[in-house]
Structure 1
Amino acid sequence: MLDHLVYATPDLAATAADLAARGLKLSEGGPHQGLGTRNLLAGLGLGRYLEVIGPDPDQPRPQVARPFGIDMLTAPRLVTWAIRKADLDPADSVAMSRTRPDGVVLRWRLSFPESGDGVVPFTIDWGRTPHPSADAAEGARLIALTATHPEPAAVTREIEGLGAQLDVLPGPVQLRAVIATPGGEVTLR
């Protein structure tokens, strides 16, 4: 089951302003302490959401690279997507957390695929923590998620092996999401 899309940016405030001008309302998610990032969220319907993630100006620059290649970006990019899986093996996953603006701490586990190009999703297990879509900004709906990849058949098999589905066509590595908003459609690449 699709959990969320990850739209990474080198400038969170500028990207949020651009998306708002295009009709996509975002709400504050919160900081990822120690990673130097914070996120903004938009609900996409059906328990799914968009995560817009970028550098957090209120945190010092981290000792390691920020996740999702944020430090290398020159423009916002739809970098990957996540599918929800219950009971991820602690030996094969990473524990993470963040604190919402209301003080609630969210805790989850992630497991990343071997291919790091973003077309194959990572898996996420929210355990007993509240799901971020429950308090994300409302009003948007995911219409389509598609991808291109130089090896579409192999990538499709890997995605299906995770229990997910995605239309993957031949081409350079790229994800594409079309989101309906009250102001019209927003396409993220």
Structure 2
Amino acid sequence: MIDHLVYATPDLGIVDRLGIAVGPGGQHLGLGTRNFLAGLGGGAYLEVIGPDPDQPEPAQPRPFGIDGLTEPRLVGWAAGVSGIVDVVARAQAQGYDPGPVMSMSRQRPDGVLLEWQLTPPATGLLPFLIDWGTSPHPSKDAVQGATLVSFRGFHPSPDEVHKGLSALGEELAVAAGELALEAVIQTSGGEVVLR
């Protein structure tokens, strides 16, 4: 199940030109990033993430390849799960390793602390996994008004992607083509296509 889509950018000034109303999510302290969020309906949301000018340069590269981006791009997606350790073990047993489970947190602008577990944030067509545990889901407090109309991927060998998706128990429409993700989002001002 889609938890959220990740739209990474080298400059968060894009949020004013995106065509989708977003609100502040929060800072990822130590990672050098911050995000803005928009609800997409059905318990999913859009995360716009980029360098945080209020943090020092991080010791390691920023997630999602942000440091190498020259323009905004839909870089990945998260699948929401519960019992993430068990989900990872089942995927490994089917020949796909989503990576180790890590714990993270961030404080919302209103002071609420969100804590979650996830596998390493991945880019590409296979999702990373996220388990919000008892934290409130970000889609509930995100700016509302947008709806995810469609979400699909393109890959030179779609069957390879489907093997990984099957091991994770996830679905994504994948067509043959150059590696990319595409989301069509309906807003009050019309459709916005993110690639």
Q: TM-score range by the shorter chain?
A: over 0.9
Letter paired with 1:98: R
Write the deviation string for residues 126-180 of structure 1: whole angstroms up to 9, x where unpaired. 0100100010000000000011011101101211221111111111110000000
Question: Are 1:141 and 2:147 an aligned pair?
Answer: yes
Q: TM-score, normalised on structure 2?
A: 0.90
Whether the 8 Å CA contact 1:146–1:175 is kept in 2: the answer is yes
Question: Are 1:69 and 2:75 an aligned pair?
Answer: no
Q: How many residues were matched structurally?
A: 183
Match of 2:165 in 1: 159
Query: Whole-Å Cα distance in 2 between the matches of residues 111 and 25 of structure 1?
Result: 28
Match of 1:98 in 2: 106
SS where residue 31 of structure 2 aligns? coil
Whether the 8 Å CA contact 1:37–1:54 is kept in 2: the answer is yes
Query: Whole-Å Cα distance in 1 between the matches of residues 2 and 172 of structure 2?
Result: 10
Give the deviation of 1:98 after TM superposition: 0.8
* Contiguous gaps of at least 5 residues in structure 2: 87-98
Match of 1:3 in 2: 3
Match of 2:44 in 1: 48
SS where residue 165 of structure 2 aligns? helix
Letter paired with 2:144: E
- Deviates most, 164-173 or 123-132: 164-173
SS where residue 63 of structure 1 aligns? coil
Give the deviation of 1:92 after TM superposition: 2.6
- Which residue, out of 170, 175, 183, partners 2:176? 170
Whether the 8 Å CA contact 2:100–2:119 is kept in 1: the answer is yes
Question: Are 1:119 and 2:115 an aligned pair?
Answer: no
Letter paired with 1:137: V
Q: TM-score, normalised on structure 1?
A: 0.93
Query: Whole-Å Cα distance in 1 between the matches of residues 112 and 65 of structure 2?
Result: 27
Write the deviation string for residues 88-113 of structure 1: whole angstroms up to 9, x where unpaired. 22993011111100001101111148
Match of 1:29 in 2: 25
Give the deviation of 1:117 after TM superposition: 4.4
RMSD between aligned residues: 1.5
Query: Whole-Å Cα distance in 1 between the matches of residues 117 and 12 of structure 2?
Result: 24
Whether the 8 Å CA contact 2:64–2:123 is kept in 1: the answer is no
Query: Whole-Å Cα distance in 2 between the matches of residues 16 and 130 of structure 1?
Result: 24
Write the deviation string for residues 41-97 of structure 1: whole angstroms up to 9, x where unpaired. 000001100000000000001010000000000000000001111122299301111
Query: Whole-Å Cα distance in 1 between the matches of residues 66 and 181 of structure 2?
Result: 16
